[in-house]
């Protein structure tokens, strides 16, 4: 590199894209030629700001005399980044303030005094400001009010769920069943990478500490995929037979597709569908790395006339679009991107997908419905309604040790066994 990149500037730009432009955060763009440690720093900072956004915003509202203008939201996002460093990162206050001020664009020199004064005010009055914002339960829990209310009404364990969603998760791998998980762990330990085994998934491995995934052994050889333990049960629950024709609807970015094909390499055909072309490109890249070759289709799975050839599937995996309220700890930008209206839209889309895909399943075939949601209307209520309106649908109990039985499927609560939150329901087409 010929110049020093201001990491705070990159972080604040990403926060701006999330908070102001309402764009999901995937990672720091590859176009930013960063050292892996710098890339990890930016990622950590951005996700931290998203995780603590409600508290950070409340603190700034206490310090600032008046809200910043709409055209100065970039400065607001930079203040969030600076405040997060002072509040939650192991960076001396003076260094955090200095580097954040240095990230201000030249065309907004006027903001230097504001950013400097605001961050120094927090450093001086830290205890008072923290006490003020902690008077609000929602701010203390760092959770949007609408989501707090939904979780409180749905789950006796609501507080445990929220606390788990606010924790920083460890990197979790799904090891290719063709190799030994024990051998892979041994290779990691030989490289001084600390690991331990997941409790419920026989293919799961958790990494201790921060590491760029591309630096793990076997990355280029496709020996693993990055996948939370809670997401690793789709292949074993669906359990398609050898020679089966399988549909993975809403497949991108491909984790469950790959896991399915790694577990059952003798499937006759796997069709992976998604309507997001950018996410399909990631699916293609992931499949190539892991050396599996599904038939990839860019289409709306609910519009079966546009892609289905009329041949029935033995098994269907429907990883349905949802509120993603069970994976907030890994994707804290969800706190900024989701609203109650999004939940209602997801419920409608889920029902449409179930209805549209059901005729594509052969008699005796099984459909596995999966979400990463914690909300009953997307899970138990959705399946209950589908069974009520579908005469040839029969719920199959899932005999498993993971999660809890919730009558119409199994629900994994965030934090249980260090997992994210997922819902699974298995349905057979009878007759």
Q: What are phi and psi of 223, to 5 degrees?
A: -80, -5
Q: Which of 77, 86, 198, 372 is catalytic?
A: 372
Determine the Cα–Cα distance for residues 371 and 347; give it in Å rounded to an integer.
Answer: 11
54 touches 138 (CB < 8 A): yes
Domains of the chain by range and CATH? Answer: 7-142 (1.10.940.10), 171-226 (3.30.70.1170), 232-429 (3.40.50.150)
Please report the pLDDT score of residue 33 as a whole number.
81
Residue pair 214/225 in contact by the 8 Å Cβ criterion: no
Three-class secondary structure assignment of 347-361 = HHHHHHHHHHHHHHE
- How many Cα atoms occupy the beta-carbon half-sphere of 384 within 13 Å? 9
> Locate tokens 């914002």: which residue?
133
**CB distance 425 to 395 below 8 Å:** yes
- pLDDT at res. 37: 86
Residue 209, pLDDT score: 87
CA distance 308 to 360: 8
Q: For the residues of 195-228, what is the DSSP string, one character each? A: EEE-SS-TTEEEE-S---GGGSTTTTTT-EEE--
Q: For this structure, is 372 an active site residue?
A: yes
Query: Is 148 within 8 Å of 166 (Cβ atoms)?
Result: no
Whether cis (ω within 30° of 0) applies to the bond prior to 253 is yes
Q: Tell how strand 404-405 and strand 422-429 pair up.
A: unpaired
Residue 122 confidence (pLDDT): 97
Q: Which helix (H) or strand (E) holds 47?
A: helix 36-51
Give the number of other CB atoms < 10 A from CB of residue 219.
15
Quick count: other Cβ atoms within 10 Å of Cβ 178?
10
b vs e for 272-291, b when ≥16 Cβ sit within 10 Å of the residue's Cβ?
bbbbeeebbeebbebbebbe
Query: What's the pLDDT at 2?
Result: 39
At 376 the three-state DSSP class reads helix
Could you list the mean pLDDT of each consecutive 10-residue stretch along the chain, which spans 431 residues?
75 97 88 84 96 97 94 97 96 95 95 97 97 93 96 96 95 95 97 96 94 92 96 96 96 94 94 94 94 96 96 98 96 96 97 98 98 98 98 97 96 95 98 83
Rounded Cα distance between 129 and 141, Å, is 16
List CB contacts of 257: < 8 A, sequence separation 6 or more: 248, 251, 270, 272, 283, 287, 292, 294
pLDDT at residue 88, rounded to an integer: 94
Ordered DSSP codes for 256-295: HHHHHHHH-TT-SEEEEEES-HHHHHHHHHHHHHHT---E
């Amino acid at each position: 590199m010929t110049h020093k990149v201001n990491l705070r500037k990159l972080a604040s730009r990403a926060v701006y894209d999330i908070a102001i432009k309402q764009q999901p955060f995937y990672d720091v763009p590859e176009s930013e030629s960063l050292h892996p440690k710098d890339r990890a720093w930016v990622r950590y900072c951005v996700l931290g700001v998203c995780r603590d956004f409600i508290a950070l915003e409340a603190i700034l509202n206490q310090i600032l005399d008046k809200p910043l203008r709409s055209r100065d939201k970039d400065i607001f996002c930079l203040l969030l980044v600076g405040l997060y460093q002072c509040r939650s990162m192991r960076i001396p206050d003076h260094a955090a303030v200095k580097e954040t001020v240095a990230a201000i664009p030249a065309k907004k020199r006027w903001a230097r005094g504001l950013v400097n004064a605001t961050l120094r005010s927090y450093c001086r009055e830290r205890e008072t400001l923290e006490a003020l914002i902690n008077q609000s339960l929602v701010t203390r829990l760092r959770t949007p009010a609408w989501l707090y209310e939904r979780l409180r009404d749905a789950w006796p364990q609501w507080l445990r769920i929220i606390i788990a969603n606010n924790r920083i998760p460890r990197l979790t791998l799904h090891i290719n069943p063709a190799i030994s998980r024990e051998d892979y762990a041994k290779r990691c330990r030989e490289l001084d990478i600390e690991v331990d085994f997941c409790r419920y998934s026989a293919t799961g491995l958790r990494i201790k500490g921060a590491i760029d995934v591309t630096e793990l052994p076997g990355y280029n050889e496709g020996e693993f995929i990055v996948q939370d333990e809670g997401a690793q049960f789709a292949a074993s629950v669906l359990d398609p037979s050898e020679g089966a024709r399988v549909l993975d609807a809403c497949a991108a970015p491909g984790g469950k597709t790959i896991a399915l094909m790694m577990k059952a390499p003798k499937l006759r055909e796997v069709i992976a569908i998604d309507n997001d072309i950018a996410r399909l490109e990631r699916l293609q890249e992931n499949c190539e790395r892991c050396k599996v070759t599904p038939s990839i289709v860019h289409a709306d799975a609910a519009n079966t006339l546009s892609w289905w050839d009329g041949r029935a599937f033995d098994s269907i995996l429907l990883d349905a679009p949802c509120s993603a309220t069970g994976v907030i700890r890994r994707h804290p930008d969800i706190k900024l991107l989701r609203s109650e209206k999004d939940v209602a839209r997801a419920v409608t889309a889920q029902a449409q997908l179930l209805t549209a895909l059901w005729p594509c399943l052969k008699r005796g075939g099984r459909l596995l419905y999966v979400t990463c949601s914690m909300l009953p209307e997307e899970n138990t209520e959705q399946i209950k309604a589908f069974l009520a309106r579908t005469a040839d649908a029969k719920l199959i109990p899932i005999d498993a040790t993971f999660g809890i039985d919730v009558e119409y499927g199994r629900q994994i609560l965030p934090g249980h066994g260090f997992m994210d939150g997922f819902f699974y329901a298995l349905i057979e087409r009878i007759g």
